[in-house]
Amino acid sequence: MSVFEGGRSAVVTGAAGGIGLAVARACLGRGMRVTLADRDGERLEAVAVALASEAPDRVAQAVCDVADPASVEHLREVALAAHGPVDLLVNNAGIGRASKPWGDRAAWEATLGVNLWGVLNGLAVFVPGMMAGGREGAVVNLGSKQGITNPPGNAAYNVSKAGVKAVTEQLAWEFRQVPGGRLSAHLLVPGFTWTGMTGTGDRPEGAWTADQVAARMIEGVEAGAFYIICPDNEVDWATDRRRIAWGAGDLTEGRPALSRWHPDWAEAFGAYPGP
Ligand code: NAI
């Protein structure tokens, strides 16, 4: 059995564009019924009309700000009324804003509100019902390599995605504690993906398409992978693996924070073969 089987119900946040839209399209392509959520009502309406023309009766929509618990509750009501119990929840909505570790409280609040509280609201609203239903199901949260290796320059975004990683790991553990539990949790980590978040115009050669990320997500969930880490056309898994292990080594080897970006450690990182 796969959660992506025809007739099953998916909820995707941030579905009016980018990766969320690609995930929604991929789920519809598998015959699923999908509830699209986005805070941008105009783009959501346009996308819902286009998708429904190819999959009549299988597309529902809710204007929803994931940062607002009442709005996410409304999304759940729409999804249940349209398609019945939710089998797949994809907490995808996210924003990126430049921020430093100090100041600009508005950027911090907006980023944590959408990227971290948005995921927490999704879990609080949907998971109890998914657990009580006893059906096979999956929760996919959108992480980021920035939440793992913490590159300098966007502190709030990195903190939000590190939080998503931590809570998704906790969720996986909780699901494992349920005797005969049929729910799984997954952290989807896109590489550089060409979407509204990363730019406009022609896709750079290094970037993956959102459709490639969606396909990899389905492949990863079906294979039972928890960490679904996508490469892109410039960064392969060997490179990611080396960067992740080097970052963990800052702690275990007593190096300075973010030594990968420290001039005194450039040579050592360059020579590091990886785990
Ligand atoms: P995008 O900007 O193309 O799409 C995000 C969608 O979320 C938009 O339709 C937007 O209106 C919606 N949204 C924003 N705030 C919302 C809110 N409060 N409530 C409901 N909807 C909201 O971005 P993209 O690239 O598709 O990002 C999707 C997810 O993937 C995000 O969580 C992002 O952090 C993550 N990601 C993206 C990467 C990339 O290279 N594009 C890399 C790593 C992670």
Cβ–Cβ under 8 Å, residues 32 and 4: yes
Question: Per the domain annotation, does 115 fall within a domain?
Answer: yes
95 lines ligand 1 (CB under 6 A): yes
Annotated catalytic residue, options 126, 157, 208, 246? 157
Which residue in the block uniquely carries the two structure tokens 């991929």? 26
In angstroms, rounded to a whole number, what is the distance separating the alpha carbons of residues 36 and 10? 9
Q: What is the pLDDT of residues 36-54, one digit of tens each?
A: 999 999 999 999 999 999 9
Question: Per the domain annotation, does 3 fall within a domain?
Answer: no
Q: What's the domain count of the chain?
A: 2
**What pairs with residue 89 in β-bridges?**
11, 139
Question: Per the domain annotation, does 1 fall within a domain?
Answer: no
**Ligand 1 atom closest to Cα of residue 142:** 32
In angstroms, rounded to a whole number, what is the distance separating the alpha carbons of residues 197 and 171? 27
**Positive/negative CA dihedral, 143, 145, 148, 151:** negative
Q: What is the pLDDT of residues 137-191, one digit of tens each?
A: 999 999 999 999 999 999 999 999 999 999 999 999 999 999 999 999 999 999 9
Q: Are residues 166 and 57 both part of a single domain? A: yes
Which residue in the block uniquely carries the two structure tokens 């994931």? 66
Q: Are residues 55 and 144 both part of a single domain? A: yes
In angstroms, rounded to a whole number, what is the distance separating the alpha carbons of residues 263 and 10? 47
Which residue in the block uniquely carries the two structure tokens 């909505």? 93
Active site residue 227: no
Distance from the alpha carbon of residue 105 to the mean position of ligand 1, in angstroms: 21
CATH number for the domain harbouring residue 108: 3.40.50.720
Domain interval for residue 116 = 9-235
